[in-house]
Amino acid sequence: MNVLMIAPPGAGKGTQGVVIAAHFDIPHIATGDLLRDHVARGTDLGRQVRDYLDRGELVPDEVVLTMVREALEATDRRGYVIDGIPRTMDQARALYDIGVEMGSTADVALHLEVDDEELVRRLLARSSKEGRSDDTEGVIRRRLALYYEVTHPILEWYGERGILVSIDAMRPADQVGRQILTALEVVRQMVDGDPEHPRRPIDLTGLGRAFGRTD
Q: What is the pLDDT of residues 69-124, one digit of tens each?
A: 999 999 888 899 999 999 899 999 999 999 999 999 999 999 999 999 999 999 99
Percentage of the chain modeled with pLDDT above 90? 66
What average pLDDT score do residues 175-184 get?
95
Confidence (pLDDT) at 206 = 77
* Identity of the amino acid at 127: S
- Give this prediction's pTM: 0.86
Confidence (pLDDT) at 34 = 93
Residue 215 has pLDDT above 80, yes or no: no
Q: Within its chain, how far is the Cα of 111 from the centroid? A: 8
Report CA torsion sign: 183, 204, 29, 121: negative
Domains and CATH numbers, the chain: 2-27+80-207 (3.40.50.300), 31-74 (no CATH)
Catalytic residues: 13, 87, 126, 132, 143
What average pLDDT score do residues 126-141 get?
85
Confidence (pLDDT) at 214 = 47
